Amino acid sequence: MTRSDAPALAVEGLAFRYPGASGVVLEDLSLRMESGERVALLGPNGSGKTTFVLHLNGLIERQVGSVIVAGLPVQDGNLREIRRRVGMVFQDPDDQLFLQTVRDDVAFGPSNLGLRGAERDQRVDDALAAVGAAALADRNPYQLSGGEARRAALATVLSMQPDLLVLDEPTSGLDPVGRRELAELLVTLGSTQLIVTHDLPFALATCSRAVILDRGRIVADAPTRSLLEDRELLGRHRLEWPIGFDLAR
C-alpha cells in the first residue's frame, strides 16, 4: 500500500559492486524525492547513474542499503507492484516499441496488469493524449521520427500510471525543436520525475533540483540554477555547458 505521507523515493546507504569487479560502483548513496518533484541526475560517464536507476525497480538486485518507492520497499515479493510504480523510459525508444502499432505498444503494460476492454482502452487513450500522440496511435513504431518515438515510448510508461518516472538521457538523438518540445511536455505532466541527463540546458529547463553523482556517491544536491552556475564544481565532475551557451539568457 502507498502511504500518503511517504516520499516518492527514499534511498538510504545504497552500495553495489559487480561480481568480480575490483571496486564499488555505488557507495553509501542516499537520495530522497518528494511527490511531484522533478530532479536532474547528472554525472560523468562511469559515475554509476545507470546502475543506480536500475535499482529503483529491481532490475539490479540490491546488495547493501534500502530503496523505497512511495512507501513500498524494492525487494522480492514487491517487484510486480514496484515495476508498475516506477516507469522507466529508456534512452533508445526501440527498447520499448516492438509491436505493430503504437496503440498496441501502449496497451501492452495495462494488458499485463489484467486490464481489458473499455478500462484498458481508456488508459491507452489518456496516455497518448497526455504526450500529444493521439494521432500516432495507428502508426507503425518503426516509421516514427525521433521525437514521435520518444513520445510514444513515454506513453507506454504513462499507461501504467506510475508514481515515479525515470528518464534515461531523454534528449539523445533529438533535434533542438524535439528537445524543446520534450522539455515543455515533461514540465506539463506534473508527475514525479528523475531525469538522467548530460544535457545541462535541458536539466535547467525541466528540473528545479539537480544532483551530481560521481564515483558512486552524491557529491552535490542543490537548486538546479545555483548548481549549474558553479562552473568549478561542474568541471571537477566532467560536466560543462555547450560551447557558446549563455546561462544568463
How far is it, in rounded angstroms, from Cα 18 to Cα 28?
Answer: 15
CA-nearest of 31, 17, 23 to 63 is 17
3-state DSSP call for residue 41? Answer: strand
What is the end-to-end Cα distance of the chain in Å, rounded? 45
Going from N- to C-terminal start, the domains of the chain cover 9-236
How far is it, in rounded angstroms, from Cα 44 to Cα 36?
Answer: 26
How far is it, in rounded angstroms, from Cα 139 to Cα 116?
Answer: 22
How far is it, in rounded angstroms, from Cα 228 to Cα 223?
Answer: 9
Amino acid present at 46: G
Architecture of domain 9-236 in CATH?
Answer: 3-Layer(aba) Sandwich (3.40)
- What is the band of 1 on the pLDDT scale with cuts at 50, 70, 90? very low
Q: What is the pLDDT of residues 144-187, one digit of tens each?
A: 998 899 999 999 999 999 999 999 999 988 889 989 999 999 99
Amino acid present at 223: P
Q: Are strands 64-69 and 72-73 parallel, antiparallel or unpaired?
A: antiparallel
CA-nearest of 233, 166, 220, 218 to 197 is 166
Q: Supply the mean pLDDT for the chain.
A: 92
Q: What is the pLDDT of residues 2-45, one digit of tens each?
A: 455 789 999 999 999 999 887 889 999 999 999 999 999 999 98
